Amino acid sequence: MRGTTNPLVVGRVIGDVVEPFACSIPLRVVYNHNKEVINSGELKPSQIVSHPRVEVGGDDLRTLYTLVMVDPDAPSPSNPTMREYLHWLVINIPATTGSNFGEEIVSYESPRPTSGIHRLVFVLFKQPGRQSIHAPGWRQNFITRDFAEYYNLGSPVAAVYFNCQRQSGSGGRRLIL
């Protein structure tokens, strides 16, 4: 995929979190009524305290989706020993609606990065039908690929991500004296 301009490839979401896929459903994620998530955009921790409004496209209310939100850079991008950290899991979201019409399996946990710039990734899967999905026993080391395979979700149908760092962070390396 040399020379690609796909932000999910450039941002290593494809590779670190999911395999290559074709986006086939619109997915819109908005924090605080006006902070829309755009690929590789940046949001501060104070802007993402409450769960976002998530709008799922499609045209048939009988089609259901699963939404996963993970941080592949936890606890730090240089040493992601908790990759992927699960921040939110919502299932049985009807097409044309949003996450508030689904069933929250793992409650939203606001990201609070302490080191480096973290990618926060929303991945949407089309379900084969109404499902019962169990909450994992822990949030750290969640593997989106394995989860999708276990529940027969197939490839993602949409994904979007943003970057986040500690509230006072401004990017780049810091000189420590």
Q: Identify the band that residue 174 occupies on the pLDDT scale cut at 50, 70 and 90.
A: very low
* pLDDT tens by residue, 91-122: 999 999 999 999 999 999 999 999 999 999 99
| Average confidence (pLDDT) over 21-25 | 96
Report domain extents, the chain.
Answer: 7-165
Tell me the per-residue pLDDT of 38-61, one tens digit each, with 9 for 90 and over.
999 999 999 999 999 999 999 999
For residue 7, say if its preceding peptide bond is cis, omega within 30 degrees of 0.
Answer: no
SS3 125: strand
Residue 5's pLDDT band (cuts 50, 70, 90): confident
Cβ distance 82 to 140 under 8 Å?
A: yes
The pLDDT confidence band at residue 2, using thresholds 50, 70 and 90, is low
β 41-42/156-164 pair status: parallel
**pLDDT, position 167:** 84
pLDDT of residue 175: 34
CATH topology of domain 7-165: Phosphatidylethanolamine-binding Protein (3.90.280)
State whether residue 117 is helix, strand or coil: coil
- Contact partners, residue 9, CB within 8 Å, separation at least 6: 1, 15, 20
pTM of the full structure:
0.92
